[in-house]
Structure 1
């Protein structure tokens, strides 16, 4: 049940959005047990972002929320692949991309509430 939300300070043409969505769908597989089949992706373009007091270069802030992965297995490769995808598709330099990771302990999906602690007992 991963979710990747991207905020960009540039316009995101639909063709590049679809390319980036495809790449994110592929790279989520770095995390064992995760795949595009359960991945939700969101994009917010033309978002006001500033880095080092400036906003005149392409910037991105990406949030990656993943359920049930407290040991972060595969995150280093995931981080590298997300960074590469944003560079390849949008030309965003690695030092202009911030990625935040969130460990989800409980989740609601398909009308059901799922808590990681229920799997640990």
Structure 2
């Protein structure tokens, strides 16, 4: 069950959020083998972000949490495709898109009264 949290300094319109959500689902399925039926995407908007000592106006922090582990090549592809998606759909500069990936054992992730 991947959880992708998208943190941006400005509000996104609904069509942009929908395009990002769909793109994230497709990328997670193709690159990480994680089905969209288990994907949760959270948008946190109007957040203050600083990068390299400067206030970010047109960027994002995309935090990806998932059960299991990815190979270094999968992580590299995931980061590239997420950055490309945000550049294309939200018009953010690639240099202002920061991606983190956290991997968990199933026993550290709960849903519906149990763990995976």
The answer to whether TM tops 0.5 is yes
Q: Which stretches in structure 2 are left out of the alignment for 5+ residues?
A: none
If each structure's helix is expressed as a fraction of its own residues, which one has the higher value? 2
Q: Which stretches in structure 1 are left out of the alignment for 5+ residues?
A: 115-121
Q: TM-score, normalised by structure 1?
A: 0.85
CA distance in 2, matches of 1:28, 1:56: 26
How many residues are treated as equivalent by the alignment? 113
Matches within 5 A, 1:13-92: 13-29=13-29, 30-32=31-33, 34-55=34-55, 57-69=57-69, 71-72=71-72, 74-92=74-92
Kindly tell me: are residues 56 and 98 of structure 1, through their superposed partners in 2, closer, same or farther at Cα, counting changes over 3 Å? closer
User: Contact conserved, 2:49 with 2:56, CA < 8 A, in 1?
Assistant: no
| RMSD (Å) for aligned C-alpha atoms | 1.5
Other-structure match for 2:110 = 108
Q: Which moved more, 1:10-19 or 1:53-62?
A: 53-62
Deviations 1:26-70 (Å, cap 9, x if unpaired)? 0002113x1111110000111011122222531211100010115
Which of 1 and 2 has greater Rg? Answer: 1
Other-structure match for 1:95 = 95
CA distance in 2, matches of 1:36, 1:73: 21
